[in-house]
Chains A and B, each alone.
Chain A
């Protein structure tokens, strides 16, 4: 077997041939090293990023925690000094009650069961329970913390959230020109959305979910249809 090269569809176990690179090769997600060679560990299309990064572009819905990622979680237990948060991974994450802005032993943060938190993963490994913090290294909350009332939380695939978080997302730019909305995207496949009314929220949520299958040139048309529907009812 020659092995798969860039642009091929691979399945786990396929031997991968890294062509056209001299020097250091970086293996991205979905690839693993076996002795002398490299093989794929996920199903998808083998892609090359930049000059020397190879990875498998695969689709996933189940979140696997990785350090440094910002995720949306729902608080399941708010007693004691560690809150338990469900982030959609196999284990519940924990947040210390001191990991909020201006939190001290006397000044506990106002967190209840069922609240939605936006936090950064401090500890995330295969062998340990993940740990979140809602504050950065300077002690400032920035965009993290408990999200306010009145929004709506829904789940989507991990590919969609990565697509939304690209620097110039055509959908969010087009929507932002016409509507006022607040959007928080967690890398664990959860999106929190708040607009002026229930109808607007439902329409924007639908547009965000449909964006997974939209091409960039179709985005403007889709947004125009959305605005037309909003104004016509």
Chain B
């Protein structure tokens, strides 16, 4: 399926809004969307969401023969899979331009910057090394896939633990997690990507672009920066008239952003290891928000309304985590949704609220009197 066309009026409106320093979803020009990182039950499984963009990362390992040119280094493979689940115009299998660009950028940022200590993955030189495979799946594409994928990649790699091995005279023993504690990967530094969309011949820069902004932008500038404020990669797609001022501006913002993102990853990792230690319930099930109807709701455009409206749009109600909807089953075939939150005035919930009708007597219909006509489907 082809990517749907953007109408001229949408393009013109977006450019005019950007030139007035307004964004369609009400963010400031340099405001990022909410970043949340969730780890799954297995080591190396991580889901990252930036606003509506969601990426799932999974790390796995295998013992293989090393490359002939590097006999005492492990292998690291990064694969980004674009499936129609992310967006209707993505195709599995076929390498589209955006998928190649994404793969290459992540390779540049993570592999070429040598952030993973590959020599520690060697077991027997020239014969057996660990091959670490990172698979990223795009769950939803709402702009800025590069940033989201890089955070997912880094978080998954930092979370991953490989089995402990021992080389004895009989051969190689790979210990199970229950027998010997698995070992984390050696991560020397933490690179992530930060993207900027450039409009109006370099006059306006926007941080964390949404899907429409990405498609309308004349250029997208991506910087790979690590937690120590070192540059790990640079990429510009598209073309724009920009000078050194733009590059400097973007670099400053990227440095600040990288530091805060890396701090968030470390914090989330610490919380996760705490949860694992205390043996409480963890994993993705806990991350699914209870009590909110998640489909059909989120408006793409919303302004930060300074004065609190009694209206709760779907996005606002996501923050209201205390409101828990209990689902009570009354009889067969009838469901009542009770909302204990005072503020939620969602008509969606009102519509689903159904009063249990007492099933009294059977009304018998005589078939010859009824005619059934099908109107439309």
Contact = CB atoms under 8 A, between A and B. Distances in A.
Contacts of A36: 367
Contacts of A201: 13
Nearest to A156: B299
B352 interface: yes
Given A23-B371, A153-B10, A202-B24, A222 B311 contact: yes
B374 A154 contact: no
B374 A114 contact: no
A21 interface: yes
B311 A206 contact: no
B369 to A, nearest CB: 6
A198 B13 contact: yes
A218 B300 contact: no
B284 to A, nearest CB: 24
A213 B293 CA distance: 12
A47 B24 CA distance: 37
A149 interface: yes
B347 A212 contact: yes
A162 interface: no
Chain A at the B interface: mostly helix, strand, loop or mixed? mixed
A210 B311 contact: yes
A7 interface: yes
B303 interface: yes
Contacts of A206: 26, 299, 301-303
A23 B369 contact: yes
A203 B375 contact: no
B354 A27 contact: no
B5 interface: yes
A79 to B, nearest CB: 15
10 contacts: A8-B357, A26-B373, A32-B374, A150-B9, A198-B17, A198-B20, A202-B301, A206-B302, A213-B348, A225-B309
Interface of A: 1-2, 4-5, 7-10, 14, 18-33, 36, 38, 41, 45, 53, 55, 57, 59, 61, 66, 74, 76, 86, 112-116, 147, 149-157, 159, 192, 198-199, 201-203, 205-206, 209-210, 212-215, 218, 221-222, 225, 228-229
